[in-house]
Structures are given as structure tokens and as C-alpha cells.
Structure 1
Amino acid sequence: MIEKKIKKNEDRCALQEILGVIGGKWSMSIIYALFPGTKRFSELERLIPGINTRMLVKELKNMETNGIVVRNVYATVPPTVEYTLTTKGAQLEPIINELYKWGLEYIS
């Protein structure tokens, strides 16, 4: 059983695994929007121009599954849903900020 896990990890590039977690078209924008703190679903929709509701739901579910965000649902009418970065997600802040700075320098 252990040999299969090791073999599987050797077959896949670590970068491909990382991109599977945060490599969605909208993932970094969502994470960036959550750096200041907890946001409601509707706030995230407004903060990320061009994203549609379906894609936001899909990306948030993927990030929740991978331990990047936590989803909190409150029993109100209508239900209130808030998203917060986990410790794991918050550790992406310096990395994404560096990518942003690189993009400003070389993409513009």
C-alpha cells in the first residue's frame, strides 16, 4: 500500500498537484479577495469582476475540499454564507503578492 502512494507521487509532478489546488482561472483572485478577512458570497461576487455565480461556487468548493477556505453557513432567512481563508490558505499571501508584483513588472 505504501509503495503505491510513493509511486503515485513520483509519477506526478509536484507543480501539477499545486496547480490542481490553486490553479483554477479564478482561484488566485478569490484567495486575494479573502486576504483582508471573511467575506460573504455576494461580496466575493462583487469583488471579482467577470466571475459568474456558477464558477465562484465551483472554485470555492474546490478550495474548501483542499483546505484553502472554510465555509460557514448561518441559519438566517435567506441563509448567510461566509468564507474565510484557513491557515494553509493565508500562507499563500506572500506568494500571490510576489506573483502580482512580477506581473506588474513584466506583463504590463
Structure 2
Amino acid sequence: ELLRALLGIYLDKNSPHPFPTGAEVRDVYIVDPGLAVIDTNSVLADNHRSGILVEELTIASLVRTLAANIPGINRVKILVEGKERDTLAGHADLSDFYDTLAISKASDQWAAAGQ
């Protein structure tokens, strides 16, 4: 429900980081105490704005939301329609796991650079 709420914000046309209409989180699995898997629909990936920064911001939002709300999550894997995919929309790598601490640090650096 957390990620669906996040997507609801990004699906708003006035969002500074809009997601494509119809984008959904299909499910979230807690595979072991430290690993979460996010399964999105193909609309999120196929119709996502392309570009490394916008794709990384999407991934960071999903990963940080889970890490902030589910204690002990330290790695996140993102699937599309239940399958692995090389990239989100041509740039951001989805082939590996995302370390929540590394994503948090990178996000903080992006925020500091933007101020």
C-alpha cells in the first residue's frame, strides 16, 4: 500500500516527477528479512520518461519508501511484470539489487546539490 500511495502522488499531472498513466505496483514481496522485491507493471517501465536522472529518481523513491517504512530492508530488487529487466526505460540498471543505504546516501547528495 505504501508504494501504491507513492505512485498516486506521482500519477498526478501536477507532480514534479510524473509517472505514466496506468503505472502500478503489482506486488511487494519480502523474500528474507533484508530483501524486498517490487514487482511493477509494464506501463511503468514502457512509458516512463527516459533519462538516467529521471529513472534513478524513480528507483530511489521506490527503494527509500520501502526502507523507511519496513524495518530491516537493506536490499531491493525491481521486477517488471514478474520478470527481470535490464533497465527501467533504457538507462537505470534493474539487473541487480539496490542497496538501501547507498540509495539513501545518493539521494541525500542529489538533494544537497539541488539546494
TM-score, normalisation: structure 2: 0.27
TM-score between both structures, scaled by the size of structure 1: 0.28
Larger Cα Rg: Structure 1 or Structure 2?
1
More helix by share: 1
Q: Return the structure number with greater strand share.
A: 2
